[in-house]
Amino acid sequence: MAKSGFAKEALMSFIDRIVKLETEKQALADDIKEVYSEAKGTGFDTKVMRRIISLLQLDKGDLQEADAIESLYRTAVGLPTP
């Protein structure tokens, strides 16, 4: 049992698995960064791209609602709506 007997092997196994997964995860993060960099070099606005990607994650209703609230608040503070 882990708590008292002290399963050193088990702990090391868990930790190894996590370290490995995190390594792969970091590699993907680097890939993503690279794609953004490439897109930027092609002339795209990466800031807007990031926003678009986050909007894509929303389901349709949520997106509409978010847009609606933003329109409302924009009007309230005197900003033009797109």
Partner DNA sequence: GATGCGCTTTAAATGC
Partner DNA sequence: GCATTTAAAGCGCATC
| Binding stretches for DNA (CB under 7 A) | 22, 25, 29, 33, 36-37, 40-41, 46-47, 50-51, 54
Asked whether position 82 contacts a copy of itself by CB under 8 A, the answer is yes
Question: Which one-letter amino acid corresponds to residue 57?
Answer: Q
Closest to 46 measured CA to CA, from 54, 76, 17: 54
How far is it, in rounded angstroms, from Cα 41 to Cα 43?
5
Using rule CB under 8 A, residue 17 touches a copy of itself:
yes
7 vs 68, beta carbon nearer DNA: 68
Nearest distance from residue 78's CB to a copy of itself, in Å? 4
62 binds a copy of itself per the rule CB under 8 A: no
What is the separation of C-alpha 29 from the centre of its chain, rounded to a whole number of angstroms? 10
Please pick, from the candidates 1, 59, 61, 62, the single residue that binds a copy of itself as defined by CB under 8 A: 1
Q: How far apart are CA 40 and CA 14, in angstroms?
A: 39
